[in-house]
Structures are given as C-alpha cells and as structure tokens.
Amino acid sequence: MISMNSYLNAYVDRRMQAVVDEWDLSTRADLSDLVNRLDALEQEIPKCAAFEKSAADRLTGLEARAKKLKRRA
C-alpha cells in the first residue's frame, strides 16, 4: 500500500503549477532577475520625484492663477 507521504508528494508534483498559480507564488525563474528588476525600479525613483515636484510647482501656479481669476469675477 502507498504511504501517505508518497501519495501527497505525488499529488503535489502533479499539481504544482496549479498551486503556484492559485497561491500566486514566485518561482526560481521569477526570482532569477529580481536584482535587475529592482535596479531598474531604483533608477526610476529620481525621475518620479522630479516629476512630482514639477507637477506640484505647476499646480501651485495654476491655483494662484485660479485665485486671481476668481477675484476678477
């Protein structure tokens, strides 16, 4: 008779891809280029910060213009 461990191991082996997909687990292939992906993200941070500052400055200017227009009306 097959032991419970052998049965469970065989079941997991057969269903591993479904388990990975269902639980949204990372695989070795996903992790193999993790450092490269993190480096790319870290390089985008200064660009995002610069855009955020530019957008905030522009919004401040637009708000000032809107106040001037509001006073005229």
Tell me the pTM: 0.48
Query: Same domain for 70 and 50?
Result: yes
Query: Same domain for 48 and 71?
Result: yes
User: Which residues span the domain enclosing 54?
Assistant: 33-73
Per residue in 6-55, pLDDT (tens digit) is 999 998 899 988 988 898 988 888 888 999 999 999 999 999 999 999 99
Q: CA 26, 28, 33: angle at the middle one, nearest 5? A: 95
Query: Same domain for 50 and 26?
Result: no
Query: Same domain for 4 and 21?
Result: yes
Number of domain units in the chain: 2
Query: Same domain for 71 and 42?
Result: yes
Query: Same domain for 28 and 39?
Result: no
**Interatomic CA distance for residues 45 and 39, integer angstroms:** 10
